[in-house]
Amino acid sequence: MSEKYIIQIKNLTKIFGDGVEIKALDDVGLNIEQGEFMAIMGPSGSGKSTLLNQIGILDTPTSGTILLDGVDVTKMSDKQRSVTRNKQLGFIFQYHHLLPDFNALENVMMPLLINGVKRSEARKTASKMLEEVGLGDRMKHRPNQLSGGQNQRVAIARALVNKPSIVIGDEPTGNLDSKASDNIYELLRRLNREHNQTFILVTHDKRMAAKTDRTIQLVDGKICEDSRNGNDD
């Protein structure tokens, strides 16, 4: 049973507290299968980003466990966490967070270089990835020479270049107009189908959420709704 799930979350609680304690996640349990394309929705402050950061091991929980591919991330060393982030996880944020001093190609190469891939090989893989997101002609441009949508596509290429089994996106289209946002959605969907990667996307966009396989509603740090959308092919 457990092998079926790439992500298993049990009794996950996250309390932020400087004086006043805020329970951002309250005893959350959640299982996610390999290849799922899911959306997390909920009002502002409901804990969506907090949950995503926990799955991405960017933060540590107050209590509870998270198993990625059966391994408890809360027990990992710093080194293991970095390796897991590099090989198993891909991050897309609302703002692209590209490295400003590097061009598009170098940005996409970076996760490969961090993984120890040779420069020449990294360049090949990264340019293929950039072509896949439709930016084959913008490889030498730096982030400040690209539009918001283009940068976001570079960020997607970067998140996916190491073929991570899990891709998490915190409002990946939050900064884009609906046309650009549809394009990004189509792109992610296509990549999900082609490589069977797991996508977990936080979104405020009902239209977009409706096109995913599964939608989770968070309210006050609790999952109050978990529905299949019937978009499976």
Ligand X SMILES: Nc1ncnc2c1ncn2[C@@H]1O[C@H](COP(=O)(O)OP(=O)(O)OP(=O)(O)O)[C@@H](O)[C@H]1O
Summarize as ranges the residues that interact with another protein (CB under 8 A).
49, 53, 56, 58-59, 78-79, 82-87, 89, 91, 93-95, 97-102, 110-111, 113-115, 158, 170-171, 174
Tell me whether residue 53 or residue 217 sits nearer to another protein (CB atom).
53
CA distance 122 to 100: 19
Nearer to ligand X, 1 or 20 (CB): 20
Residue 123 binds ligand X, judged by CB under 6 A: no
Q: Which of 96, 99, 170 is nearest to 133 (CA)?
A: 96
Could you give the CA distance from residue 172 to residue 180 in angstroms, rounded to a whole number?
A: 11
Query: Under a CB-based contact definition with an 8 Å cutoff, are residues 13 and 28 in contact?
Result: yes
- Choose between 161 and 168: whose C-beta lies nearer to Mg ion: 168
169 with 56: CB under 8 angstroms? no
Residue 138: contacted member of another protein, ligand X, Mg ion, none (CB under 5 to 8 Å, by partner type): none
Shortest distance (Å) from residue 22 CB to ligand X: 5
**Cβ distance to ligand X smaller for residue 22 or 210:** 22
Which is closer to ligand X, CB of 35 or CB of 45? 45
Nearer to another protein, 153 or 158 (CB): 158
Which token pair is 168? Answer: 């998490």
The set of residues, in sequence order, having a beta carbon less than 8 Å from that of 9 and lying 6+ positions away, is 28, 29, 30, 31, 54, 55, 64, 65, 66, 67
* Binding of residue 192 to ligand X (CB under 6 A): no
Shortest distance, position 194 Cβ to another protein, whole Å: 22
β 63-68/5-18 pair status: antiparallel
* 16 is a site residue for ligand X (CB under 6 A): yes
The CB-of-81 to Mg ion minimum distance in angstroms stands at: 22
CB-nearest residue to Mg ion: 49
Binding at 15: pick from Mg ion, another protein, ligand X, none (beta carbon under 5-8 Å per type): none
Shortest Å distance, C-beta 48 to Mg ion: 5
For residue 74, what are its two tokens?
């809360």
Q: Which does 157 bind (CB under 5 to 8 A by kind): ligand X, another protein, Mg ion, none?
A: none
Q: Which residues are near ligand X by CB under 6 A?
A: 16, 22, 24, 42, 44-50
